[in-house]
Amino acid sequence: AKKICEEYGGHLVTITSATESLALINGLQAHELDHQVWIGYTDEKTEGQWEWITGEKSAYTNWQPGEPNDDKQKEDHAILTTRLSAFVKAKYRWYDWGGDDVMYFILERESEID
């Protein structure tokens, strides 16, 4: 997902405020997406130090309570959930995730306004 986003001139989505989160959630609901979605939050460089892949700084998070938990020993990437399941207790929260699971992702491109 990261490589595909870069090939299209963008990056995995970053969510640095409650306002951005709500706008994204509204868009996902409007498209009735029922899946997990990769976002651009990772602790791949240093375990436990989560950062946006763009280097943006933000204190905003929307983790499900108990997350991130590194449950599978190597969960270095965040997903946003859009459906309930055995492990997902609340929609539109973040979970740490590992592996190369096939999931949807959200491409974000920065726009320049003159």
Task: Sort 20 into a burial class: Cβ within 10 Å, 0-12 / 13-18 / 19+.
Answer: middle
Per-residue pLDDT of 52-80, as tens digits, reads 999 999 999 999 999 999 876 789 999 99
Contact between 23 and 108 under an 8 Å Cβ cutoff? The reply is: no
Entry pTM: 0.88
Residue 32 has a pLDDT of: 86
Distance CA 14, CA 6 (A): 14
Residue 50 pLDDT class (50, 70, 90 cuts): very high
- For residue 19, is pLDDT > 90? yes
Buried-exposed string 84-95: b where 16+ CB fall within 10 A, e elsewhere: eeeeeeeebbbb
Distance CA 39, CA 80 (A): 7
